[in-house]
A and B are shown apart, each in its own frame.
Chain A
């Protein structure tokens, strides 16, 4: 009797959910969402609290794992390969949907979205719409966007009456000017990721794209044996030789750049969006109010390009509450949540209109610049074996930056290994 009443009550309160869930689940559905340590689980909690208030029949628990994209994937590997139903919804890196589709780990959303599918997908920024549709199927929905920016020190550029660089050539020359003028042994011109981590893939791709190069060759197979790829590698050689980059570039991980920039030891940095807030708000930041972002440079005469990043939300194929999970997914990838994230975490929106939202701009004036970077951003290679593709690029890049492999060796090794993966 009382069960029936409770069932009735919750059904009345949580109408959308009750419609979706079978009567047995309707009393209380518990969903578990997987979030990486770097994607602001605290903000996710606030967002989920709102969702729970509106859907009293659903409780959402957060599971945090992995500080890096790789670690998060290793984490999910053990859960997903053992078909564990413990996790219903997961945040995945923008580079992963192809793998999740091929391995059958993500529940395709087409059937759940139904006739609305095209209309829903049309609202997202194009790069994110494309990233989440694999083989015609919607594998995940965008949660927040990210991109690599060129952060620069406004005070130092003003002091030497310089403009932020539009080309790599300008970046090198302005960096030298400032370093000579400052004569500070701790100050370096520029840093990017060089350790064998995911970010180092972009250290290779960005200047290659910025020289007009492509990752895929004529037959749709990867081909990095190009003048543009060589030019990209040469750029790092030159910057290192001119002492613009730190001597230990091959050891530099993403957050190390943030720490060094924050300590006032860098003029320029190639860095993701998360650093902005740290520069402005951290107690030990020496660059508060002295920082701005522009798109990353290209080579003179070419279109600049940058890596897009960002996080998507997928429903696990092994979830026992798929319908409820899709409901949560729809909410988490809504403009409302995009705005909440922008205000609470400075996460870049996946909807064009949120960039123009007055409340958002009040908190993040830099979003007016950020939008231009995000819309011109490009995706890293798409492959079901992306982890291997990434590994090939990053270990080669790392060896190149450490000076243990020549440009020719790096390009030859990348090409032969990539050919095996794309076979």
Chain B
């Protein structure tokens, strides 16, 4: 107010900088409290034997890590499961998402059914998607087996066969995540200038040629970003298998996140759970740094 008259350039700059930090401070404080401090505690606990069901808090060095990496088959199995989920569902969601995006990229007169059709799966909580698909794949009352029986085949037991259960969980994850993919890809599609297609048409290029020569290259940045983004969230897969199979049959569909949750919350083994969570943290850091490098390159180019 009254101070406005006194602004000089250097002071303005200094004030602005001070204001900038002040505006960032609440965010920084929240980050410190909810992310940085807990991570420090996570690292510390991972070197301890620390079970809430037994008294005592004992330093054991790297014992938790050694057990996880060299002895605990169940953990390694859950890592393997998570990797397979990523390898199957990330490209799966990309293909389905691309298909949906191409279908949705049409001159509709009424836009809302298609747009809502893409938004609904995104807005549905993951765990609800898991519950609903669990039921779709139910042996007797499931929709999927109903279709299979209508077609005259023997209904399989989706959720008690390890491979089929895995496949069923993959279907649910792909359904749930493909619509977000589709939204991002659709936004990418809509930035491609119409003139490019018109020019191609004049040159006599077929629809397929147009897709390969124009659509895919133009869409590439959006595809790469969407893929990396999906991969990083897929590392944390939890809700859908939790609701669909709870990791079963046996531990056939158990992911890293589920095993960590079980160790920490059900067995109350905070020391070992912290070590497992730290390992997962490290995996994510690698994936994130790949992502950051990519986006940096991307913005640098643009």
Contact = CB atoms under 8 A, between A and B. Distances in A.
Interface of A: 70, 73-74, 77, 81, 99, 102-104, 194-196, 247-251, 384-385, 387-388, 391, 395-396, 398-399, 401-405, 413
Main secondary structure of the interface of A (DSSP, over half): helix
B246 A99 contact: no
B243 to A, nearest CB: 13
Contacts of A399: 162, 249-252
A196 B162 contact: no
Contacts of B55: 104
25 contacts: A73-B266, A77-B268, A103-B53, A104-B55, A196-B247, A196-B250, A248-B157, A250-B160, A250-B248, A251-B160, A384-B54, A385-B51, A385-B267, A387-B267, A391-B266, A396-B250, A398-B249, A399-B249, A399-B250, A399-B251, A401-B249, A402-B162, A402-B248, A404-B162, A404-B249
A397 B161 CA distance: 14
Contact of A196 (B157, B249, B266): B249
Nearest to A194: B160
Nearest to A260: B140
B257 interface: no
A103 B250 contact: no
Interface string B158-194: 0111100000000000000000000000000000000
Given A74-B266, A77-B265, A402-B162, A103 B54 contact: yes
Given A102-B53, A385-B53, A248 B160 contact: yes
A74 B250 contact: no
Given A384-B54, A388-B267, A404 B250 contact: yes
Contact of B161 (A102, A388, A398, A402): A402
A-B residue pairs, 5 tightest by C-beta: A399-B250, A402-B249, A250-B160, A251-B160, A248-B157
A100 to B, nearest CB: 9
B53 A384 contact: yes
B252 to A, nearest CB: 6
A385 B269 CA distance: 10
Contacts of B160: 194, 248-251, 401-402
Nearest to A196: B248
Nearest to A70: B266
Contacts of B246: 196
A160 to B, nearest CB: 27
A413 to B, nearest CB: 8
A108 to B, nearest CB: 15
Contacts of B73: 413
Contact of B250 (A99, A248, A251, A402): A402
Contacts of A248: 139, 157, 160
A395 B267 contact: no
Interface centre among A99, A195, A395 (most CB of B within 10 A): A395
B119 interface: no
Contacts of A195: 248
B14 interface: no
Contacts of A402: 160-162, 248-250, 252
A413 B71 CA distance: 12
Interface string B227-253: 000000000000000000011111110
Given A196-B247, A196-B250, A405-B250, A391 B268 contact: no
Interface centre among B53, B159, B161, B266 (most CB of A within 10 A): B53
B143 to A, nearest CB: 16
A408 B251 CA distance: 17
A250 B249 contact: yes
Contacts of A249: 160
